[in-house]
Chains A and B, each alone.
Chain A
């Protein structure tokens, strides 16, 4: 990445113009570094990207920032609203501030890194992406999370991993409560290795000891309906 960024000021240009310009990039384009100024909580910034570019959002973003991201690196220098990086496919989304509800919802690949806290339903319906939250996550996080990893350096709110499938949840701090079918599991070597890899990807290698995390996963009691578990439904 070289040179000065292409700057888009959202007080002058529309979100639609921004997204269309980003979508129009060809693989051989040299406009690989973008800065978006004056976002002021606008929605749908840098959605549907499919290019190996870096987009810096200079301020707070609204809903669905970097939604369905492919390949791109999107950095929010502020907070992100509901559904940041929802359904992300690959690439990196980095929120320097806090993320609102449903951060990384149904994300399939790539990395979502949140420096602050994430609110309720972080990693809801996760489908293979890796999410790292340096702060805490809110209630009902990892609800119906199917695959991928959620790493939380802080605390987790109530109902963690409710109706969990095969995603791995690593929490360092306190867990207010576990959801249906979510249980603590032994942190084996294979998990420590996985966790170390995720921490390294997030630039946290050496800063946190994988051994200080607890692993949560599915008890798999809801995989086939059994009337004796009916009250979990």
Chain B
């Protein structure tokens, strides 16, 4: 009997190749997969929103003389010295330890040229960063690695970190290969061990006690500096209200696209909500408390271009923060290093094993031989360029919508391409009068 055509091989959508590989890896090693970066899944995001540019009912602004302002003032609620930024894009908290000293210096240089701030991370403040960053935000994390009052006093703002978007409810992670002598010294750990981190603060739990903690930080810094509270996007409506009630000057909400240096892949992909879904609830909480624009809101998690900046601001944020994008600007995942990525078993654009500390770009490593490849001056210039482009893009969009300042962008300037994005962002589905989920 003649054989007919065979059924072509078909992959399962549920047990797809990536899933199969992960199950095999877990069976072989007995440990969860750890990696850096944020969620890699496709999610409703800023790309699903579009701006309604001027036409007959609205008039645009010309470029150049017809200014579109980009400045922002953070920490006006209580601080004697609020932070004045030239652009509403800041550099998010990333630790020395997860990043090389050269990378921290580059971030400081680039941010300073652009007139914005950088943020320390889960390892404390380095002299490189303080020296090269004109505005530096000092994080107070559950681990308290490196925490000391002198750094608190030489910071420009203080950020109490409750969590981050990649892992709301989780603590920091740095594996032994990146716990170099210098990192270990700063964190008071034996060199070379895997750092276990607390997920709760050691001396407060809950917004009622956070209130007293924020007061303590204010007292120590003589009420000079703004106090930010950062949360991973989870219940942004409640968390924003509670941050305000605890006395925050600024609320920072980090969506699940937000990156991390290292954590369990399962945490990154399955805990926390998309940035797009977090903005309107946070803004609503501020509006209901009469605090919108009085307690500033910074949004982070997957901000990549001027359009993302403009959209976040249109939805009500006062500023955005970038992490992953800043590293890419410095040179992370550069195709010029493809041969080395291949040697690591990956490829440019997909490299995320930052916890291993073998980054050929010299950014997410503590290996001196690799770290020295990153020229902080050149990389700082690249970051400054990138920030300038994002700002120009946001201004171009804002002018096209008739705005003389990025802060006068509003939700009604946007429409959504999908029902999910419309519901999450609280804007109309394009071509309709419908905002799903609102009566």
Contact = CB atoms under 8 A, between A and B. Distances in A.
A108 B212 contact: no
Interface stretch (B185-193, B274-282, B422-430): B185-193
B30 A224 contact: no
Interface string B197-224: 0100011100001001101100111110
Contacts of A70: 149
Given A64-B203, A125-B198, A87 B144 contact: yes
B149 A50 contact: yes
A20 B188 contact: no
A127 interface: yes
A52 to B, nearest CB: 15
Given A44-B219, A144-B196, A165-B190, A89 B148 contact: yes
Given A16-B219, A44-B212, A47-B216, A106 B202 contact: yes
Nearest to B213: A64
A222 interface: yes
B108 to A, nearest CB: 25
Given A16-B219, A165-B189, A227 B203 contact: no
A67 B196 contact: no
A63 interface: yes
Interface residues of B, number: 31
A20 B222 CA distance: 7
Contacts of A68: 148-149, 152, 220
A94 interface: no
A143 B201 CA distance: 12
A225 B193 contact: no
A102 B148 contact: no
A179 interface: no
A159 interface: no
A82 B203 contact: yes
Interface string B212-247: 110110011111000000000000000000000000
B180 to A, nearest CB: 16
A121 interface: yes
B152 to A, nearest CB: 7
B369 interface: no
A103 to B, nearest CB: 9
Interface in B337-364: none
B185 to A, nearest CB: 11
Contact of B204 (A82, A128, A227): A82
Contacts of A108: 148, 188
A125 B149 contact: no
Given A89-B149, A106-B203, A124-B203, A146 B188 contact: yes
Contacts of A20: 222
Interface string A73-95: 00000000011001101000000
B143 interface: yes
A133 interface: no
Contacts of B202: 86, 102, 105-106, 121, 124-125, 143-144
Interface of B: 29-31, 143-144, 147-149, 152-153, 176, 188-190, 193-194, 196, 198, 202-204, 209, 212-213, 215-216, 219-223
The 4 closest A-B pairs by CB, nearest first: A48-B220, A227-B30, A83-B203, A68-B149
17 contacts: A43-B212, A43-B215, A48-B219, A48-B220, A50-B149, A63-B209, A67-B220, A82-B204, A86-B202, A102-B202, A102-B203, A125-B143, A163-B196, A165-B189, A165-B190, A166-B190, A223-B193
Given A48-B219, A223-B190, 5 more contacts: A48-B220, A67-B220, A125-B198, A127-B144, A224-B194
